[in-house]
Amino acid sequence: MQPSAPPFDERLTAPRTWWLIAFGVGVACALMLLPIGTLPMLGGLAGGTAAAAVVVSQYGSARVRVVAGALVAGDARIPLSALGDAEALDAEEARAWRSYKADPRAFMLLRSYIPTAVRVKVTDPDDPTPYVYLSTREPQALVAALAGVPA
């Protein structure tokens, strides 16, 4: 690991199949414009595919990082001093915390296509958020980074 590299940095990218779906949206747009002519059809293919690809890319651009004494998850930046214990969740436990165990006050950066997650307690008495739920493909590495232990 480089000295300037953050202890944990993960991009929650969309699955590859979603890119095929984006192309399928482009094909659907092309078929809708087929009766108008070939040129509009090609424009529909290019435009529809590009628009769907932008949506997939934006959804998959969320990042989870531990850097400069803070947990950065999506748009949230939480100082590590405001966080308590972190718990790595396996697929079954992560599903439970996404659904029936979830607290509506919690901050959740979740991606349903990522089966594992980390739940971090918020210890700041001024913050009503009970915990932070973060989807991650590397829950043990995130827990280690939050604890300050090299992964």
Domain ranges of the chain: 10-59, 81-147
Q: pLDDT of 57-95, one tens digit each?
A: 988 888 999 988 899 998 889 999 899 999 999 999 999
**Complete DSSP assignment for 6-55:** -SEEEE-PPPHHHHHHHHHHHHHHHHHHGGG-HHHHHHHHHHHHHHHHHH
Number of C-beta neighbours around residue 77 at 10 A: 12
Which whole-number Å values give the CA distances from 126 to 3, 71, 129, in the listed order?
A: 34, 18, 9
Q: pLDDT of 8-22, one tens digit each?
A: 899 998 888 999 999
Can you give the pLDDT at residue 150?
A: 55
**Rounded-to-integer distance, Cα 116 and Cα 64, Å:** 14
Q: pLDDT of 23-70, one tens digit each?
A: 999 999 999 999 999 999 999 999 999 999 999 998 888 899 998 889
More confident residue, 4 or 144: 144
Residue 130: pLDDT band with limits 50, 70, 90: very high
